[in-house]
Amino acid sequence: MIQHIQFDGAEAIQASNGALVMTIIPSFGSNVISLVDVKTGQELLVKPESFSALQESPILHGIPVLFPPNRIEGGTFSFEGETHEFPINEIGKHHIHGFVYDKPWRVVTEKEESGIITIETAIQLEEPAIYQHAVIHLTYELEGQVLRQKAVVKNEGSKPFPWGIGYHTALLFDERNAAFSLTKTNQWTLTDEAIPTGKLEETDPFEQVNLQNVPLDDAFAAAASENKAVVEGEDIRLVYRTDSAFKHWVVYNGNGREGFLCPEPYTCITNAFNLDLPADVTGLRVLQPGEEDSVTAQLEISYPQ
């Protein structure tokens, strides 16, 4: 079932398939602000208390779309001999999280067929100049106990552009009782301002780790296959699975006792635009004129025996 509802005065779409109830606000980042598991009645995401709360803190609610993800050091980079500048919006030094998470998206498709609910939205970027001909289509599908996210990025211009996409997925997380696992290979060494130095180090695996009082704002290289983050609670298990295009994870949980966890899948690492490393390491992609590319992630809900 698909309904058009009001969320604190904002137009929203609510979709329910009997297993999950999803709420999207297309006009503000096409953000999935709520995902409820029907069997347990649990809200799975950090849902904003109001639309103004979402506007004030757009990155820590729901599933914000980051294009490109995380920081661009100094808000500047060079591509094919030309210097590009992004607006400085973090600690007066860097650009962070891109250009679509708080912008209006248009609704392209709403349908329910063969047991799958599909909501597709799209955005034509207007700024910065390098992305003036970038178009992103974002398709959410509800199928059983799975929320699938497919992003298609298109270059409708006459010049190539570098790109990356990520999701700042904010999950409710009970640090006292929940465990966290993550498929990863190495950890990126970061500066005090969370910019990768270009070095990767081996780290211990995350296997059913208790994160109570363990603050994280760390970046990891993802596993080449079976890439996933897993949250296991007392009566529910959530698996966040991605395709191989997502080469990195950033994991953020504030001070480790705030009741949330953000396992953030990225196709390219923070500041990939400026790192002097191969694209197969950073994940940075380039779209030529007329080309498009797609990436997929999904949240899967199950119940421990």
SS3 string, the chain, reads CEEEEEECCEEEEEEECCCEEEEEECCCCCEEEEEEECCCCEECECCCCCHHHHHHCHHHCCCCEEECCCEEHHHEEEECCEEEECCCCECCCEEECECCCCCCCEEEEEEEECCEEEEEEEEECCCCHHHCCEEEEEEEEEECCEEEEEEEEEECCCCCEEECCEECCCEECCCCCCEEEECEEEEEEECCCCCEEEEEEECCCEEEECCCCCCCEEEEEECCCCCEEEEECCCCEEEEEECCCCCEEEEECCCCCCCEEEEEEECCCCCCCCCCCCHHHHCCEEECCCCEEEEEEEEEEECCC
In this prediction, residues 281-305 reach a mean pLDDT of 97
pLDDT of residue 225: 85
Give the model confidence (pLDDT) of 53-95 as tens digits.
999 999 999 999 999 999 999 999 999 999 999 999 998 999 9
Among this protein's residues, is 95 annotated catalytic?
A: no
- Quick check: 181 and 230 in contact, CB under 8 A? yes
Residues in the chain: 305
Rounded distance between C-alpha atoms, residue 186 and residue 215, angstroms = 18
Task: Express each pLDDT in 94-117 by its tens digit.
Answer: 999 999 999 999 999 999 999 999
Please state the rounded mean pLDDT for residues 208-214.
94
- Residue 157 has a pLDDT of 96
CA dihedral 248, 253, 256, 261 (to 10 degrees): -90
Percent of the chain's residues with pLDDT above 70: 100
Label residue 224 by pLDDT band (50, 70, 90). Answer: confident
Residue 61 among the catalytic residues = no
- The pLDDT of 30-40, averaged and rounded, is 98
**Residues ≥6 apart with Cβ < 8 Å to 209:** 179, 180, 181
Q: Which residue has the tokens 């298990």?
A: 237
Out of 264, 291, 292, 300, the active site residue is 264
Q: Please state the domain extents for the chain.
A: 2-302
CATH of domain 2-302: 2.70.98.10
Whether the per-residue pLDDT at 305 is higher than 90: the answer is no
Residue 139 CB neighbours (<10 A): 18
Catalytic residue among 97, 168, 175, 248: 168
Mind listing the pLDDT tens digit for each residue in 167-179? Answer: 999 999 999 999 9
Instruction: Please provide residue 130's backbone torsions phi and psi, each rounded to the nearest 5 degrees.
Output: -65, -20
pLDDT at 215 over 80: yes
* pLDDT in the model for residue 204: 86
